[in-house]
Amino acid sequence: MDESVFVSMAEKELAYIEDALEQCGVDIDIEPQPGGILALTFEDDSQIIINRHVAAREIWVAARSGGFHFRPVDGDWRDSRSGEDLYVLLSRVISDQAGEPIRLEPA
């Protein structure tokens, strides 16, 4: 995949995730940062970092429960090891760190 195509796809996904989290009603400090990074900070000061990794053509998620790498597969973002959907994983790790249920759906 061409780098510019990947960056466009990843930026669109990060913007969608940011918007979805802002509308979910949970107290999360959402801070977009330069270079395709979305930092989520929770009430207990734990963080989840979601970023695009251009060289690998993946979206990476670093959470208290571990690190995960997602590749575009047939229109979805899938974990490179387990095949899990990005939004299923984000719902789980954000719920865990927020201490309340969060459900994110793909666009």
pLDDT given for residue 34 in this prediction: 93
Residues 48-73 pLDDT 10s? 999 999 999 999 999 999 999 999 99
pLDDT given for residue 25 in this prediction: 83
pLDDT given for residue 14 in this prediction: 96
Q: Which domain holds residue 21?
A: 3-98
Q: How far is CA 35 from CA 7, 10, 14, 38, in A?
A: 10, 11, 11, 9
Question: Is residue 6 within 8 Å of 14, Cβ to Cβ?
Answer: no
How many separate domains does the chain show?
1
pLDDT given for residue 27 in this prediction: 87
**25 backbone φψ class: left, alpha, beta (φ>0; ψ -120 to 50):** left
Question: Chain-wide mean pLDDT for the chain?
Answer: 94
Residue 105 within any structural domain of the chain: no
Residue 104 within any structural domain of the chain: no
Residues 24-54 pLDDT 10s? 888 899 999 999 999 999 999 999 999 999 9
Residue 103 within any structural domain of the chain: no
| pTM, entire model | 0.93
Give the CATH number for residue 75.
3.30.920.10
pLDDT given for residue 62 in this prediction: 98
